[in-house]
Amino acid sequence: MSERRILIVGRRDSEVLQFLETLTGSLPSHQHSESHAGLTHTLTLKTQYYTSTIPIWIDEITDPVEWSTAYASKEAKEVRQVLGAIIYVFKRPTSEAEFTDMVTEDLKGVGKVVKACGYSWDGVCLAVAMPHSMQPQVSKSAEEWDDVTMEYGFEFVDFEAKGRNDYGEPVGMERLREALEANDWNAPMSFGLDDLDDDELDELAGDDPIDKDGNVKNGLKLEANEMEQEMFGLHQAILGEGKDGEDDDDDDEEFQVEQLEAAMQRLQGVKDMISELPEDQKRAFAAKAVADVMKTL
């Protein structure tokens, strides 16, 4: 079973359980009240690369500020570290007031938790619109909903949509499953800038983290720029091997390249984050961040 989890959240009336049953084919056996807070379930994903059973945590948003404050807190660090996907489920609003007061505020709160997961977190963020029995509903096109949810880092999914869009891409639940299958469920736990305390930095670099030459004393002397160059060389080597070996598996090669490119993107995030740190923490943070990315290769 994967160590990473899917967190599904939504209001009590957001039809979270209807969404869950459609996604997994079943409902939790231990459902005991009208609230879906605290329920757990599993999702089995099977692709040509892996088969994995993903644990699902289900929670309920009553107050988005309180909810996000709790999940973004230091105390919730271990919870955030094991998340591989966050799915926000909501009913289509029936008025602009409902859209502003509920959907937008919920997205702000859930987006705050995503930020708290840290720069290196590479999980999936999806916002799923469920049908509403009441009419009229707020009229927004899929493109408009995309703009709304992307502002908070979420991809919009229309629960009722079927088939493919104008670009030939799957929509609706088919797209949601595709996004989950493409995620790296075996990636190491992520950490955020706020998760690094003084003890962890001292452990990384010792009492005097930088020597007279400006190197980290724990042996991890590669900074993000140097690591990026080394990975670029590895990228070229992979491509070269693909040309020379007649029996190489093309699908496996493509998968390796995608993994490498994703790691390089995370390194770019490392560089961006390092620029915001005090000078005395930059190298120690870079060392830990680079080591974290190395585990994914």
Predicted pLDDT at 9: 97
CA distances from 228 to 184, 221, 294 (A): 20, 13, 11
Fold classification of 5-182 is Rossmann fold (3.40.50)
Q: What is the pTM of this model?
A: 0.67
CA distances from 74 to 36, 70, 78, 259, 278 (A): 25, 9, 9, 30, 21
Rounded to whole angstroms, the Cα distance separating 129 from 267 reads 33
pLDDT tens, the chain, 297 aa long: 678 999 999 999 899 999 999 999 999 887 666 788 889 999 999 998 889 999 999 999 999 999 999 999 999 999 999 999 999 999 999 888 888 889 999 999 999 999 999 888 989 999 999 998 776 677 888 889 999 999 999 999 999 999 998 889 999 999 999 999 999 887 666 555 455 555 554 544 444 445 555 554 443 444 445 555 655 665 565 555 555 555 556 666 666 666 666 666 666 666 666 666 666 556 656 666 666 655 555
Q: What is the DSSP string of 89-110?
A: EEEPPSSHHHIIIIIIHHHHHH
Rounded to whole angstroms, the Cα distance separating 238 from 259 reads 12
- With H, G, I as helix, E, B as strand and everything else as coil, classify residue 167: coil
Output helix, strand, coil percentages for the chain, rounded to the nearest 5: 45, 15, 35
286 phi and psi, to 5 degrees?
-60, -40
Per-domain residue ranges of the chain: 5-182, 196-294
Question: What pLDDT digit, counting tens, does each position of 160-174 carry?
Answer: 999 998 889 999 999
Predicted pLDDT at 268: 64
Predicted pLDDT at 90: 96
Which residues, in sequence order, are CB contacts of 271 under 8 Å at separation 6+?
A: 224, 225
Predicted pLDDT at 218: 46
Helix axes 250-274, 279-294, angle to 10 degrees: 170
Q: Which two tokens stand for residue 173?
A: 């639940």
Helix axes 172-182, 16-24, angle to 10 degrees: 70
